[in-house]
């Protein structure tokens, strides 16, 4: 009888772990056919209306605060939409690609980095809400599930790191932007190659998550974010995948963690502005206009497209993103 009880206990424990496994909801979603994945719940409409109202409020406030200095750049709206679509779908690309491009267009770091952080605070949290709505990930606070714990761990170390990087970059040490961009590009390319090779060799398998593995990735990503406004998503998302997290859920976790980390960065820049270093928000409306709608569309694309496709798209996109950053720097 004791053997039977032990066996039942083990089975219950396995079921309990499976229920709390990161990516369980996304796996169940992938088992549905295309027609079922295309369907959305009625609650989506209500959440979209609320999100749209908040978006309009932010745009109005930015024009009130900025006055005549705030402009609408339609080409930047399009770029922000395209890069945020890939960022929220594949977990990377918004700040990493858009930041060097805006700098090359003649905008200053204090016009680019703070605005990217504000925008990604909004789009990251928006993306997380709709990822949860569409079933790509399941966040729970009561009880606190494994997905939420992992998100807090990534966000905590990323927030600490972004605080240090902004402090050193703008107060203590003037980090050469070129060196940071080169380092980020090489790091993203290397991680992309490694992840793609593991995927092609079918050596990545989902296993019980070990939170300690992501601490270093979160710290590096936060450092990148504070220096140049990019380089967060590729490091964290690929780090999650290499730690065994399901691809669809990894991108969702990256989005909300990036939103939290970006918010800490925004607070740091508000302090910088308070002590006399002027922060220019001229790009904010344009970047938010493009990024906001992409942050709603992308979770739906993640829901509809099977995970086996994301297994290939994410590392290949990472490779292309890293090459793009390096080419733009030296062109």
Average pLDDT of 178-184? Answer: 70
In tens, the pLDDT along 97-140 reads 787 788 778 888 778 888 888 999 999 899 989 998 998 888 88
Q: What is the pLDDT of residue 216?
A: 87
**What pLDDT is recorded for position 268?**
84
> How buried is residue 40: exposed, middle or buried, by Cβ count under 10 Å (0-12/13-18/19+)?
middle
- Identify the DSSP state of 171: I
Query: What φ, ψ does residue 308 adopt, rounded to 5°?
Result: -60, -30
Enter the pTM of the model. Answer: 0.80
Question: What number of residues does the chain have?
Answer: 331
Q: Is the pLDDT of residue 194 over 80?
A: no
Position 10 pLDDT exceeds 80: no
3-state secondary structure of 21: coil
Shortest CA distance to 238 belongs to which of 183, 295, 292, 197?
A: 197
**pLDDT of 157 over the 90 cut:** yes
Question: Over the stretch 272-327, which tens digit does the pLDDT of each residue have?
Answer: 777 777 778 889 999 999 999 999 999 998 899 888 888 788 888 878 877 877 78
Tell me which DSSP letter residue 136 carries: S
pLDDT average, residue stretch 134-149: 87
Residue where the block lists tokens 């709608």: 293
- Tens of pLDDT, residues 55-107: 899 888 888 876 677 788 999 999 899 888 888 887 777 877 787 788 778 88
Q: Residue 210's pLDDT band (boundaries 50, 70, 90)?
A: low
Name the nearest CA neighbour of 153 among 213, 91, 208, 215.
215
CA distance 250 to 244: 9
Phi and psi for 181 in degrees, rounded to 5? -65, -40
Contact predicate 119/284, CB 8 Å: yes
Q: What is the pLDDT of residue 199?
A: 67
What's the whole-number mean pLDDT along residues 27-36?
Answer: 86
* Total Cβ atoms within 10 A of residue 124: 28
User: 331 in helix, strand or coil?
Assistant: coil
**Using 50, 70 and 90 to split pLDDT, how confident is the model at 177?**
low
pLDDT of residue 3: 47
pLDDT above 60: residue 208: no
User: What three-state secondary structure class fits 264?
Assistant: helix
- Rounded Cα distance between 244 and 261, Å, is 23
Give, in degrees to the nearest 5, the angle at Cα 30 between 25 and 35.
115
Using DSSP, state whether 141 is helix, strand or coil.
Answer: strand
Burial of 108 (0-12, 13-18, 19+ CB in 10 A): exposed
| pLDDT over 70, % of the chain | 83
CB 91 within 8 A of CB 318: no
Question: Residue with structure tokens 């002027």?
Answer: 278
pLDDT in tens, 220-275: 888 878 776 677 888 888 888 878 788 888 888 988 998 998 898 889 888 877 77
Q: Give tens-digit pLDDT for 303-314.
A: 998 888 887 888
> Taking Cα atoms as reference points, which of 257, 245, 239 lies closest to residue 318?
239
pLDDT-derived band at 14 (thresholds 50, 70, 90) equals: very low
Per-residue pLDDT at 148 exceeds 80:
yes
């Amino acid at each position: 009888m004791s053997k039977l009880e032990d066996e039942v206990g083990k089975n219950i424990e396995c079921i309990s772990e499976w229920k709390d496994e990161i990516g369980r909801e996304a796996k169940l979603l992938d088992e549905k056919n295309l027609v079922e994945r295309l369907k959305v719940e009625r609650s989506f409409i209500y959440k979209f209306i609320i999100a749209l109202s908040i978006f309009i409020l932010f745009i109005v406030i930015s024009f009130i605060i900025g006055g005549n200095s705030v402009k609408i750049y339609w080409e930047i709206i399009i770029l922000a939409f395209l890069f945020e679509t890939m960022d929220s779908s594949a977990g990377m690309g918004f700040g990493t690609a858009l930041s060097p491009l805006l700098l090359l267009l003649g905008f200053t770091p204090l016009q680019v980095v703070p605005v990217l952080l504000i925008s990604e605070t909004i789009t990251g949290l928006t993306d997380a809400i709709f990822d949860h709505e569409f079933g790509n990930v399941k966040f729970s606070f009561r009880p606190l599930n494994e997905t939420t714990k992992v998100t807090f761990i990534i966000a905590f170390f990323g927030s600490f790191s972004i605080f240090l990087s902004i402090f050193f970059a703008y107060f203590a040490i003037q980090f050469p932007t070129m060196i940071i961009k080169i380092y980020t590009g090489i790091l993203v390319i290397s991680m992309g190659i490694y992840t793609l090779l593991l995927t092609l060799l079918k050596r990545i398998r989902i296993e019980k998550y070990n939170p300690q593995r992501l601490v270093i990735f979160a710290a590096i990503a936060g450092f990148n974010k504070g220096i140049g406004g990019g380089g967060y998503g590729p490091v964290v998302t690929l780090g999650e995948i290499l730690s065994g997290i399901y691809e669809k859920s990894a991108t969702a976790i990256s989005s909300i963690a990036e939103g939290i980390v970006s918010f800490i960065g925004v607070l740091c820049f508000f302090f910088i502005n308070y002590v006399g270093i002027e922060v220019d928000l001229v790009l904010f409306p344009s970047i938010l206009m493009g990024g906001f709608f992409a942050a709603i569309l992308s979770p739906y694309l993640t829901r509809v497209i099977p995970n086996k496709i994301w297994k290939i798209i994410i590392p290949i996109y990472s490779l292309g993103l890293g090459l793009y950053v390096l080419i733009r720097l030296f062109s």
